[in-house]
Structure 1
């Protein structure tokens, strides 16, 4: 009986070890194809460009989630959710104003999109305004090259604007005390915080680029001082 118990224990340990050593796949890192334009990009330019693309992807994901929870919004002006989404992304890419926002851009557009009295497609206006604000904070560019510069404070402010927008989205109500848009949901039967997660990703990326901009100029100054002090040790010596 004792022997049988020992065998069971050994089998259980073996099964447990098999579970812990089994390979787990959750996707893989994928890099973009090399383009000719990258010749005119520094490493930092490339990081800023990739980060901007990731943030635009997050906005597209956020728009998809919002439309699924608020289908009445895309029905105001489009024949399908896909058509509504494509129109917003095209407006951002082409840098054209969004009709429902009365020509407003950047944070003014964001304030209007979150106004309880706004009657247009609120999802479209909200995502467009967020995207426009982010692009403006990056010097009104989505791709960055050697002669392009970024303002760290503008990027820092954009990250804080994202935090404020996320808070307003989750808390503001209309005249009937209904949420402006259904987003996060935490109840006894369900828990959906994917909206907050997308905001968190964008905030983290923008803050990182802001820090990298600051570090870039800080290191440039340090490098200059190092070159002055190191010059005396970098002189050729006579050999005859």
Structure 2
């Protein structure tokens, strides 16, 4: 009841009076705006930016590993990216129902014969979906969990480590990413992942402050390369 009273106050306070076509006054309310706090609007933008960066990473990975989108049966790199964008509306039979860390880990499994880029990025995107409670927009009564956001950020760090270190039995990287050749050094993948981690870490801090909880950064050895749980957290 307290929340309903607060919402009602916002609605009444924000009513705008104007002349209608018949000369009478009429009130208009932008209900969508009124039902969002500053934190909600920030969460909307933060989530959109994180997803956009992960899709940029997927595009970069496909450019460096063009055989992967072909293995996935896509007709083009763009089609493979579109599939990732529509991930919640399509089935992924090659992943056998796996999501989050379990799906991302397939990209670094010798036994996996499918599209490794799709497995990795789908896994990371599904972590983000879980961290943001499977919502694309947020309103006053919606809540987020700072530990889910924090764990998702740490999982991006794990993904970076695995991209640079996990190899096949023949000694080849499962996926090519950063170019470390001094003559043609390219760390764009690391920078993009760093941007994602920064966005998620800052969102975790904002959520912790909103929830009135003390947020302490936990230590994790990235060398263990184990993806942390997200959706099973309460």
Whether the TM-score (by the shorter chain) exceeds 0.5 is yes
- Return the structure number with greater helix share: 1
Aligned twin of 2:146:
152
Aligned twin of 2:208:
214
Give unpaired runs (5+ residues) of structure 1.
Answer: 1-34, 220-240
**Counterpart pick for 2:81 among 74, 78, 85:** 85
Distance 1:149 1:114 in 2: 34
Give TM-score scaled by structure 1 length: 0.72
Give TM-score scaled by structure 2 length: 0.74
Greater C-alpha Rg: 1
Distance 2:108 2:134 in 1: 22
Change (3 A) 1:141 1:97: farther
Q: CA deviation at 1:36?
A: 6.3
Q: Deviations over 1:102-132 (max 9, x none)?
A: 1011222122233232110111111111100
Distance 2:74 2:162 in 1: 26
Give unpaired runs (5+ residues) of structure 2.
Answer: 1-29, 214-234
How many residues get paired? Answer: 183
SS in 2 for 1:82: helix
**Counterpart pick for 2:37 among 32, 36, 42:** 42
Distance 2:31 2:184 in 1: 48
- Report if aligned partners of 1:113, 1:129 keep a CA contact under 8 Å in 2: no
Aligned twin of 1:238:
none
CA RMSD of aligned residues (A): 1.6
Aligned twin of 1:185:
179
Matched, 1:64 2:56: no
Q: CA deviation at 1:142?
A: 2.4
Q: Deviations over 1:166-204 (max 9, x none)?
A: 111111001211111000011132011000011000000
Q: CA deviation at 1:97?
A: 4.5
